[in-house]
Homo-oligomer: A and B are copies of this chain.
Amino acid sequence: MHRILLDTPITPGQTLRIEGEEARHAVRVKRLQPGEPLELLDGAGHIAAATVAGSEKSRTGEWILLADVLTVETRPRPHPQVHVFAPAPKGDRLEDMIDALSQVGAASWSPLETIRTIREPREARLDRLQRIAREAAKQCGRAWALGIGPARRLPDLLAESPAATATIMADAAGPHYTASVLPAGIPEIRLLLGPEGDWDPRELTLARDRNIPTASFGPHIMRIAQAAATATAIILHLARSSQTAHPAPG
Contact = CB atoms under 8 A, between A and B. Distances in A.
A230 interface: yes
Contacts of A250: 208, 211, 213-214
A154 B193 CA distance: 38
A248 interface: yes
Interface stretch (A21-29, A122-130, A215-223): A215-223
B246 A175 contact: yes
Interface stretch (A37-45, A83-91, A235-243): A235-243
Interface size class of A (residues with CB under 8 A): 35 or more
Contacts of A240: 176, 219
A240 B102 CA distance: 26
Given A176-B244, A223-B103, A233 B236 contact: no
Nearest to A174: B249
A52 B146 CA distance: 47
Nearest to A105: B219
Contacts of A226: 100, 103-104, 229
B222 A140 contact: yes
A136 B240 CA distance: 31
B234 A103 contact: no
A134 interface: no
Interface of A: 78, 96, 100, 102-105, 139-142, 174-178, 180-181, 208, 211, 213-215, 217-223, 226-227, 229-230, 233-234, 236-237, 240-241, 244, 246-250
Given A103-B218, A142-B220, A218-B233, 20 more contacts: A78-B219, A102-B220, A104-B222, A104-B226, A105-B218, A141-B220, A175-B248, A176-B237, A176-B240, A177-B237, A180-B248, A181-B248, A181-B249, A208-B250, A213-B249, A214-B250, A217-B233, A218-B236, A233-B233, A234-B234
26 contacts: A78-B219, A96-B96, A103-B222, A103-B223, A103-B226, A103-B230, A104-B222, A104-B230, A139-B221, A139-B223, A140-B222, A175-B248, A176-B240, A176-B246, A177-B237, A178-B246, A180-B248, A208-B250, A211-B250, A214-B249, A214-B250, A219-B236, A219-B240, A229-B229, A234-B234, A234-B237
Q: What 9 A-B pairs come out closest when comparing CB atoms?
A: A213-B249, A140-B220, A176-B246, A140-B221, A103-B222, A105-B219, A230-B233, A103-B226, A175-B246
